[in-house]
Structure 1
Amino acid sequence: MTLNHLVEGPASAAPLLLGPSLGTSYALWDKVAPELSVSHRVVRWDLPGHGGSPAGLIGPGATVGDLADLVLALADYLGIQRFAYAGVSLGGAVGLHLAVHHPERVDSLAVICSSAHFNGAKAWQERAEQVRREGLDRLAESANARWFAGDFTVPELVRDHREADPEAYAACCDALAAFDLTDRLPEIGAPTLLIAGREDPATPPAHLRQIADAVPGSALVEIPGASHLAPAQCPEAVLAALRTHFDGAPRRGMEVRRAVLGDAHVDRAQARQTPFTARFQDFISRYAWGEIWTDPTLTRRERSMVTLTALIAHGHYDELAMHVRAARRNGLTPEEIGAVLLQSAVYCGVPAANSAFAVAQRVLAEEADEG
């Protein structure tokens, strides 16, 4: 038996495993995972007895290490050797355990609304006893207060809490009762991001700050208005933090964008950015420049040739002028640019190539004058 899971994104993309909080299912990630799957092979999983995972995967006296072993078994089942990992609360504790005990498997780590310890064993032992005795109905009634700030709620997650298997839930409580990695945090070598909800009563920001202070080179982000289930309540803020941490595509994309188009052009584009256009600018930097232009399959010279031809075909002559300059930065000579334009005359049409030659001649003349 393996943990119930959902895989999203390209099979060839870098794997990213997402762990849930106690009492929830992988639906916790519904507003974040689809966006992350644009650039990652995202694997969301359910705790034993939660969502679709069999309850019998763990029993009384379970540990976070037992849950981590189930996650590794799932990764092995999917043929994943190394992966990035993000987890919430108990799912975050699993990530910490993996980073300490299986560093060869974890490329990078994000710990969200979690802790290196969960305030001692007593409260969790009492909760486990209560759940084994009474079931989960009464505990589920207080889920909103424990999970969310204000009047916010996600009915599907509250339902998942109520429908979880009581024995498996209690075993997860046993795992939280026994968990304490405080002394092992300095051993974590994976790049680590901590995300805290400022309104979180279960694992307040001080818990995440303790981890950040102990893990070398880690970073801490606090999200205003977020309580314990930050990915559900503040998905855009969580998504932005995870994107920056895991793929660095906006940063890499901006570097490539500047290298190809020049600082002056990018600075003008950034200066014109407004809240209305900000997401589009992020898309361009992250996807076009951070993923496509950084793909090593084609050289930048070859990409410039393809780009010039496509712009001529669609009559985008303002963009063409910009990319003639980019082609020169990418190493194309005026003669090679002319050959590309001549090739386009055959396949895109003589009038289009005629306009393109006029644009390119003007740009090359300006370059000569500047030189």
Structure 2
Amino acid sequence: MLQRLALFLIAALLSWPAQAVSVAFINPGRSSEAFWLAASNAMAQASQSLGIRLEVLYAEREHLRGLELVKALVARPPAERPDYLLFSNDYGTAPEMLRLVDGSGIRVLLVFSSIHGADQRQVGRPREKYPFWLGSLEPDAEEAGYLTAKSLIEKGRQARLQGADGLLHLLALAGDRSTPSSAARNSGLQRALAEAPDVVLDQLVYANWNLDKAAEKTRWLIRRHPEARLLWSGSDQIAFGAMKAWRERGGTPGRDGLFSGVNTSTQAMEAIQRGELSALAGGHFLAGAWGLVMVHDHARGRDFSEEGLDLVRPMFTLFNPERARYFVQRFGGAQLPLDFRQYSKALNPRVQRYQFDVAVLLR
């Protein structure tokens, strides 16, 4: 009798669902911003399929607001704090965020952008000074800058847009000066330029990821450098701002001036199908969703440390009109009807290495 009762209790305990892991994400973007909305939507899809309770908090591109959001999470009663916290190092805020989380019992994974350079020397590597800082997952942002610049240059050669000196002239509108992913995209641009002796970088400026700021800066750039016909941009919104200024001057994007961008917004996909964007790379909006896969596995005893603590993965692919049409048809811009369980090591013992690549989804 007692044995049967014990067996019944064990079976009942095994049948009860485990308490869902709770995760908060400090979204550094605006709640109306296409890229960061797509990132949150992808994370919502991943959390739903993985059984994670997800809370998304927007910093609205105000770095002080991001710090206040972390303070508020830590100030909650222990039972109401999330098990894991995901945030990025936009505007170099991650070191201070780690300091704020210290002692709270919350475990941290950096996604989208991590800590580098002097800041890394200050805080150390994951699991050193801050043991609760589990690691980071970054898209290979240099790849995005390189792929778009290389494609833009090749399109410029094909269109024969050289200046009077026989060289292609390029203007670059970068994101910001402090975010690591912005610097990495710029490095990718420089790598492509080093491979192209027939291209001159006339000037690089920072548009702070803002369409209106990009338009304002492009207006005086094209007056200062009238032979420039290639305009490389650190994001799609920056590219749209540059296009706006180009049209105001009477130009036609895709014909007398070629533009590149980064991101998978519906607007960008439509622009490349119309030929207004000549080069577009995207896929990194999934970094937060992939981070949730890692958190899910960590909570179930499958530590991603076997692949490293600072993971930098290729997440970008170049889009042509055909691939853009397929992407929009399948994903509707940001809606991803995907079962993220198939990417989990904890749920699929055959998965030995995470495959965090948008090309996998496009297949």
Range of TM-score over shorter length: 0.3 to 0.5
Q: More helix by proportion, 1 or 2?
A: 1
Give 1 or 2 for the bigger CA radius of gyration: 1
Alignment TM-score, normalising by the size of structure 1 = 0.33
Q: More strand by proportion, 1 or 2?
A: 2
Higher relative contact order (CA 8 A, sep 6+): 2
Alignment TM-score, normalising by the size of structure 2 = 0.34
